[in-house]
């Protein structure tokens, strides 16, 4: 783990690669990256240090920024990537070091993150649904470059999440019979998911972390940030990740906005529970890797069991 002083020194060194000297720097939050707000003259940026816990290598990070650049060029309000003095999207510091830290710089987007989904109005949720649909429409038309590298939310991904979650919960006081039934239902859902056809209008690049913690509210507008998890998946899965935190009324507003731009899948009703259950699995399988999150995961487990039971009922 890199200490605060080292992170600050890396940030200053990284910014020199963009011709930025003596800026004001403020450290921000970040789960997998170390982020800074950078102010210089009348411009503001976000600097990301892809530190030791970061998920992606140079090619994957470049691929994320390449999509962001394309989205920005299509007049969507997303963080615009900034190239360094060499014309590169990704910078490494210290230069030529075996233990390099990868860095990226993007334009700052003004706005405030809502404290919870409940702080958002129905009008804002309608707008947010339309925003997701715009991303999906762009994804359908996006030409994937050669050597483009992003994660795929496929069968191995969900099977891996299931194994991690099942193993962690097996060492708790949860009823083993219920746990085994959950694993059986989850395996059936993953198997059914494997058979779904990938088509241009159903599968492509998705944000994959679309929730209120990544919304920015500014002047009655909603923007989306943090494309760090973007990858290849079903658009329906992206929808499920957003719907997961919403109540019935909020879902109706979000989907109303989505349908203004892009129709819902013809089999939406049948597959809704399937993709929601996979979204819950993905979330808890990720969280349980952190021991401090185990009590929360245990508390949510009965809800997830019920979600998978509904999902199985809807595909049989």
The CA distances from residue 306 to 114, 225, 253, 310, in Å, are 29, 31, 24, 6
Instruction: Indicate whether 35 and 176 sit together in one domain.
Output: no
Instruction: Indicate whether 77 and 176 sit together in one domain.
Output: no
d(CA 224, CA 26): 21
Instruction: Indicate whether 151 and 224 sit together in one domain.
Output: yes
Does the structure show a pLDDT above 90 at 267? Answer: no
Instruction: Indicate whether 121 and 207 sit together in one domain.
Output: yes
Q: What is the pLDDT of residue 254?
A: 98
Determine the structural domain holding residue 191 and report its residue range: 117-315
pTM for this predicted structure: 0.92
Assigned token pair, 22: 């003596």
pLDDT band at 7 (very low <50, low <70, confident <90, very high): confident
Our count of domains for the chain comes to 2
- CATH code at 124? 3.90.1200.10
Report yes or no on 285 lying in a domain: yes
Domain boundary residue, one of 107, 127, 142: 107
> Considering Cα of 63, then 64, then 69, then 73, what sign does the dihedral take?
positive
Report yes or no on 112 lying in a domain: no
Q: What pairs with residue 105 in β-bridges? A: 47, 82
Q: What average pLDDT does the chain have? A: 92
Q: How many other C-beta atoms lie within 10 A of the C-beta of residue 107?
A: 14
Instruction: Indicate whether 221 and 136 sit together in one domain.
Output: yes
Q: Are 48 and 104 in contact (CB under 8 A)?
A: yes
Assigned token pair, 53: 């816990």
Instruction: Indicate whether 74 and 126 sit together in one domain.
Output: no
- CATH code at 70? 3.30.200.20
Task: Tell me 212's DSSP state.
Answer: G
Instruction: Indicate whether 31 and 139 sit together in one domain.
Output: no
pLDDT band at 259 (very low <50, low <70, confident <90, very high): very high
Decide: residue 122, CB within 10 A, 0-12 exposed, 13-18 middle, 19+ buried: middle
d(CA 226, CA 228): 5
Report yes or no on 73 lying in a domain: yes
The CA distances from residue 236 to 121, 229, 264, in Å, are 23, 16, 8
Domain boundary residue, one of 107, 133, 162: 107
Q: What is the pLDDT of residue 107?
A: 96
Note the pLDDT tens digit of each residue in 34-90.
899 999 999 999 999 987 555 678 999 999 999 999 999 999 999 999 999 999 999
Instruction: Indicate whether 169 and 268 sit together in one domain.
Output: yes
Q: How many other C-beta atoms lie within 10 A of the C-beta of residue 221?
A: 13
Domain boundary residue, one of 62, 84, 107: 107
Note the pLDDT tens digit of each residue in 137-179.
999 999 999 999 999 999 999 999 999 999 999 989 998 999 9
Instruction: Indicate whether 57 and 174 sit together in one domain.
Output: no
Q: What is the pLDDT of residue 84?
A: 95
Q: Are 140 and 133 in contact (CB under 8 A)?
A: no
pLDDT band at 277 (very low <50, low <70, confident <90, very high): very high
């Amino acid at each position: 783990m890199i200490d605060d002083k080292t992170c600050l020194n890396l940030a200053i060194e990284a910014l020199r690669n963009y011709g930025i000297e003596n800026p004001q720097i403020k450290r921000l939050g970040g789960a997998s990256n170390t982020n800074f707000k950078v102010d210089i003259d009348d411009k503001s940026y976000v600097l990301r240090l892809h530190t030791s816990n970061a998920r992606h290598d140079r090619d994957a990070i470049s691929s994320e920024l390449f999509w962001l650049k394309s989205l920005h060029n299509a007049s969507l309000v997303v963080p615009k990537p900034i190239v360094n003095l060499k014309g590169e999207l990704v910078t490494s510091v210290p230069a030529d070091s075996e233990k390099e830290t990868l860095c990226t710089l993007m334009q700052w987007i003004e706005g405030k993150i809502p404290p919870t989904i409940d702080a958002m109005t129905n009008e804002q949720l309608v707008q947010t649904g339309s925003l997701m649909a715009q991303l999906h429409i762009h994804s359908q038309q996006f030409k994937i470059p050669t050597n483009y590298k992003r994660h795929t939310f496929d069968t191995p991904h969900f099977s891996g999440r299931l194994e991690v979650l099942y193993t962690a919960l097996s060492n708790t006081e949860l009823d083993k019979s219920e746990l085994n039934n959950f694993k059986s239902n989850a395996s059936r859902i993953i198997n059914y998911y494997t058979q779904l056809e990938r088509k241009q209008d159903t599968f492509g690049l998705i944000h994959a972390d679309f929730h209120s913690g990544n919304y920015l509210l500014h002047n009655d507008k909603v923007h989306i940030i943090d494309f760090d998890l973007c990858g290849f998946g079903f658009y329906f899965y992206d929808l499920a990740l957003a719907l997961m935190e919403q109540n019935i009324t909020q879902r109706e507003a979000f989907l109303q906005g989505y349908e203004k731009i892009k129709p819902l899948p013809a089999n939406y009703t049948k597959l809704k529970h399937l993709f929601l259950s996979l979204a819950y699995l993905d979330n808890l399988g990720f969280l349980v890797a952190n021991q401090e999150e185990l009590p929360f995961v245990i508390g949510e487990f009965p809800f997830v069991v019920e979600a998978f039971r509904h999902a199985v009922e809807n595909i049989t």
